[in-house]
Amino acid sequence: MSLAKRHAVVTGSTSGIGLAIARALAKEGADVMINGFGDVKAIETERAGIEKEFGVKAFYNGADMSKGAEVEAMIADAGAKMGSVDIVVNNAGIQFVSPIEEFPPEKWDAIIAINLTSAFHTIRAAVPGMKAQKWGRIINTASAHSLVASPFKSAYVAAKHGLAGLTKTVALELATFGVTANCISPGYVWTPLVESQIPDTMKARHMTREQVINEVMLGGQPTKQFVTVDQVASLAVYLCSDSASQITGANLSIDGGWTAE
């Protein structure tokens, strides 16, 4: 499959799942714009590495995904630099773990803004161009938590359920324009985001690090294995293919059987 002459924006892509998706799309020939926070030199190394390894154009935009105006400006920047925005992967996400009565309101606001509202802003900005060219792919990185809940993750679960609903609505609106919208819902993937929530989960559940990994994270995944970033990226690439043109409005689990129970 070739994505040559396609242009993708992948949010939250300076590490983890997002970076794996950006690299996988570039491997198939797509120009990419990555986005996210991190060390400036490390980000530039990744950007330049994508260009060198895959022979595509790669750009970086540091838009703060909690700010709608910056998100819209990023999509405009991508269109100006690449010529069009054909693929949008909404992957930016943050997490916070706390009992509901102790959940800081500012953490709730930030999680909803970055995990859910930012996707609204990217989609709203990219859709006119996709409709005009009669082709587009919108992929939202949701979570098993778009389908089921876990304790102490009220904002994250709410945001991911919302993202699944947004995906369905967008899919219906764009169904006759050659544009698809789908969710990928991973279980636990070993990423910096997952690793960083271990201490808070240890505190909330009064567990050791090993207990959190084996009983909380992998306890719900029947395969007892973490999903890999490359497995998620491969599914994203498939959803961009012509073979997936009739897959739209779907929420595709890749969770080791977690949500089958």
Q: Are strands 136-141 and 87-90 parallel, antiparallel or unpaired?
A: parallel
Rounded distance between C-alpha atoms, residue 193 and residue 142, angstroms: 14
Q: What is the pLDDT of residue 91?
A: 98
Please name which of 210, 219, 158, 155 lies closest in space to residue 187, comparing C-alpha atoms: 219
Q: What is the pLDDT of residue 196?
A: 86
The token pair that represents 98 in the structure block: 């706390």
Q: What is the pLDDT of residue 34?
A: 98
Rounded distance between C-alpha atoms, residue 178 and residue 4, angstroms: 18
Q: Are strands 136-141 and 179-186 parallel, antiparallel or unpaired?
A: parallel
Exactly one of 60, 156, 188, 238 is catalytic; name it: 156
pLDDT in tens, the chain (261 residues): 689 999 999 999 999 999 999 999 999 999 999 999 999 999 999 999 999 999 999 999 999 999 999 999 999 999 999 999 999 999 999 999 999 999 999 999 999 999 999 999 999 999 999 999 999 999 999 999 999 999 999 999 999 999 999 999 999 999 999 999 999 999 999 887 788 889 988 998 999 999 999 998 898 899 999 999 999 999 999 999 999 999 999 999 999 999 998
Q: What is the pLDDT of residue 63?
A: 98
The token pair that represents 248 in the structure block: 């739209």
Q: What is the pLDDT of residue 200?
A: 87
Q: Residue 139: in which H helix or E strand, if any?
A: strand 136-141
Q: Is 188 among the catalytic positions? A: no
Domains of the chain (ranges, CATH numbers): 7-187+228-251 (3.40.50.720)
